[in-house]
Amino acid sequence: MEATVTADMLEREKAFNDRIARGEVIEPKDWMPERYRKQLIRMMSQHAHSEIVGMLPEGNWITRAPSLSRKASLLAKVQDEAGHGLYIYSATETLGVDRLELTQQFLDGNAKYSSIFNYPTLSWADIGAIGWLVDGAAIVNQTALAKCSYGPYSRAMLRICKEENFHHKQGYQILSIMMQGTAEQKEMAQDAVNRFWWPSLMMFGPSDANSPNSEELMRWKVKLHSNDDLRQRFIDRTVPQGEAIGLTFPDDKLKYSETTRSYEWGQINWDEFKAVVSGNGPCNKQRMQARKTAEENGQWVRAAAEAYAAKHYN
Ligand SMILES: [Fe+2]
Ligand SMILES: [Fe+2]
């Protein structure tokens, strides 16, 4: 009996791998290996948590944005990120997991989110740097994920990337205007880039050699490019944009190579990356606390919504 089950499983797994090899898209009701499902839940929920935590550093500047129009566009951007979080939580739920469970994992400190959001936003220029660099890095990552093998995730990415493009342009425009301003404004813009450049490169995750999940995810076409390839792609498209508006980068090894038609660059400080990922970045505690407080403060809204639904829809 057991042997039959195993043979059956192997056959299913082979059929699944063949589908992936043919470039077919896997949908929620299709058979999938348990490990594929688990890896997707881990990756997608981390992504959803990142969208939500990502609202915090920028939300910090909504009340202090320098004009009404800046305030309105930052508000819209932060709201978009909430939408991205909800979209990806919904996509994750198609894998049979409840979003309450995912939220709990996050609040208990058992789920990761992008290390970039553990850095503080010290000046208005940081909002420019985040839009340009952080959303720019997210676009490179998410454009690749838009072609991944899991249907709901890839479709979520298509829509999200369109919005990220607005965020990217908004950030770049904030910095370009500051770079045409006073010496103090230029300095502010440059300082923001100096602080956010390396953490943005860290967003692509560990180098391929140290990325434990990469190989499996690439085999399943959840990931289509390695972390290092995506990081290089980001550098190659971002450096000329920065140079065009007079910004420099805090990397003395950064140099264009005519041979590879690509930039050579220095070394990521992986000790810093590890420290931030393991909870010891400048704002980790603050971010977790903000999410916990939001959860507690939202309790009555959820209770009221449930009571209303019970009264009217049961
Ligand atoms: Fe987003
Ligand atoms: Fe964004």
Residue 18 CA to ligand 1 centre (angstroms): 32
Is the Cβ–Cβ distance between 20 and 224 less than 8 Å? no
Residue 83 CA to ligand 2 centre (angstroms): 10
Per-residue model confidence as pLDDT tens digits over 68-86: 999 999 999 999 999 999 9
Residue 152 CA to ligand 1 centre (angstroms): 16
5, pLDDT greater than 70: no
For 32, list phi and psi in degrees, rounded to 5. -145, 150
Residue 167 CA to ligand 1 centre (angstroms): 9
Ligand number nearest CA of 164 is: 2
Ligand number nearest CA of 83 is: 1
Residue 142 CA to ligand 1 centre (angstroms): 9
User: 287 Cβ partners below 8 Å, 6+ apart?
Assistant: 53, 56, 117, 118
113, pLDDT greater than 60: yes
2, pLDDT greater than 60: no
**Rg, Å, the chain Cα set:** 21
Tokens of 93: 């739920």
Q: Mean pLDDT across the chain, nearest whole number?
A: 95
Residue 58 CA to ligand 2 centre (angstroms): 10
Ligand number nearest CA of 135 is: 2
Per-residue model confidence as pLDDT tens digits over 122-153: 999 999 999 999 999 999 999 999 999 999 99
Listed residues: CB within 5 A of ion ligand 1: 51, 81, 84
Q: Choose between 212 and 138: higher pLDDT.
A: 138
pTM of the predicted protein model = 0.93
Q: What is the mean pLDDT of residues 252-263?
A: 96
Angstrom distance (rounded) from CA 210 to CA 193: 27
User: 88 Cβ partners below 8 Å, 6+ apart?
Assistant: 44, 45, 47, 48, 51, 153, 156, 160
4, pLDDT greater than 90: no
Residue 118 CA to ligand 1 centre (angstroms): 16
Crossing angle of helices 284-297 and 34-53, in 10° steps, is 90
The pLDDT score that the predictor gives to residue 73 is 95
Angstrom distance (rounded) from CA 80 to CA 174: 18
Residue 138 CA to ligand 2 centre (angstroms): 7
